[in-house]
A and B are shown apart, each in its own frame.
Chain A
């Protein structure tokens, strides 16, 4: 009898914790999670045969539209690579001179990107160019629905179990 009461108590508090967590996560769905903007053009100046290498991390939300415009000298080539940290998704694009391309990271999280710009050996004199990036990223909240509901429903199940355990009468 005592053990049953204790079990009911534990179930009650675990259930309450799960329900509260689930409901809170579910509410994130309704919060405005927009963001993004344009970054100013990155100026590139290279002598023939030189390269610029940049590596970084970016955090993107659930839906991301990344547009990259290169305005490079025709003898400047570039390579852009993006990889999901902790995942398998990658994107790779190579080109030269003026170019435009879009990237759509599939999921919310941290991405590692690398830029390599190389000035051709045959070029005469300093080569100039720039790269411009525009990013729009929103939180759609879809994942919050499932995770939130998952917590909340399992929590309700625990609460119900707690009620049932407490309600069991001792059989004389």
Chain B
């Protein structure tokens, strides 16, 4: 049952084209690769050092994280609104529930659709961008260009996850799609204008810095340290998703 519901939800209607739009915008905003140099081995008379970095780690995508956040957040919110709030308002959700499908199944399928609707364009963009960064290296050792991919994906997912949490909660809480869309945007923008740290100001600190060196060369210890700063928003977003689930289950489907 879950697979059928998920397939229907993910491929449903015109909102599937939002996935293409997200893919285009993510791909459009990349295409800038860092120019960097890194010493991996030195042999001095009294000192020897070697770092086990691979050529692929030099291929890094210089994305301006703040611009990505600002165009992705309205899209994520719109996606969640069309998935949930719009269907609730029009009575489509009620029509689905006149069957053996459980609310838990329906909610999970919708949430997974939102997640994949964002992650698939992201992964596809990165796969293409890294391959094009050095076609010659890609054609000789394809996997070499993707050494940065897992860390990039993790940083990116940590940026998307708070968006998904807020958008899902607002879509479930507000029956009217207009409010479900406007409230999270207004809230985040106001927070940002007031310079309050939190969701609005959150961009993974060294996700795609404009001035720093390539994250691909960041030692694992630093990387984990930066990732740990993500924790508060991950926790908040998870709480938002749980709250959304509880509201969805208990809500009257009038």
| Chain A interfacial positions (CB closer than 8 Å to B) | 16-17, 20-21, 23-25, 27-28, 31, 33, 35-36, 39, 46-47, 50-61, 84-87, 107-110, 112, 135, 137, 139, 143-144, 147
Interface-facing stretch out of B1-9, B101-109, B136-144, B244-252: B136-144
CB atoms of B55 and A112 under 8 A apart: yes
- A24: B residues at CB distance < 8 A: 24, 27-28, 31
CB atoms of B39 and A54 under 8 A apart: yes
CB atoms of A109 and B136 under 8 A apart: yes
Residue of B nearest to A32 (CB): B32
Total number of B residues with any Cβ neighbor in A under 8 Å: 41
Interface-facing stretch out of B41-49, B166-174, B191-199, B221-229: B41-49
Q: Complex: how many Å from CA A70 to CA B204?
A: 41
- A107: B residues at CB distance < 8 A: 136
Interface-facing stretch out of B80-88, B127-135, B152-160, B175-183: B127-135
| Chain B interfacial positions (CB closer than 8 Å to A) | 20, 23-24, 27-28, 30-45, 53, 55-60, 128, 132-141, 144, 214
CB atoms of B128 and A86 under 8 A apart: no
CB atoms of B45 and A46 under 8 A apart: yes
Report the minimum CB–CB distance from B123 to chain A (whole Å): 13
CB atoms of A61 and B136 under 8 A apart: no
CB atoms of A55 and B27 under 8 A apart: no
CB atoms of A17 and B55 under 8 A apart: no
CB atoms of A147 and B132 under 8 A apart: yes
Q: Which of A23, A56, A108, A143 has a CB less than 8 Å from the CB of B41?
A: A56
CB atoms of A56 and B33 under 8 A apart: no
CB atoms of B35 and A110 under 8 A apart: no
CB atoms of A25 and B41 under 8 A apart: no
A-B contact pairs, 8 of them (CB 8 A): A17-B20, A24-B31, A25-B132, A35-B34, A35-B35, A36-B35, A47-B45, A112-B55
Report the minimum CB–CB distance from A13 to chain B (whole Å): 9
Most buried by B among A60, A107, A147: A60
Q: Which of A16, A85, A137 has a CB less than 8 Å from the CB of B20?
A: A16
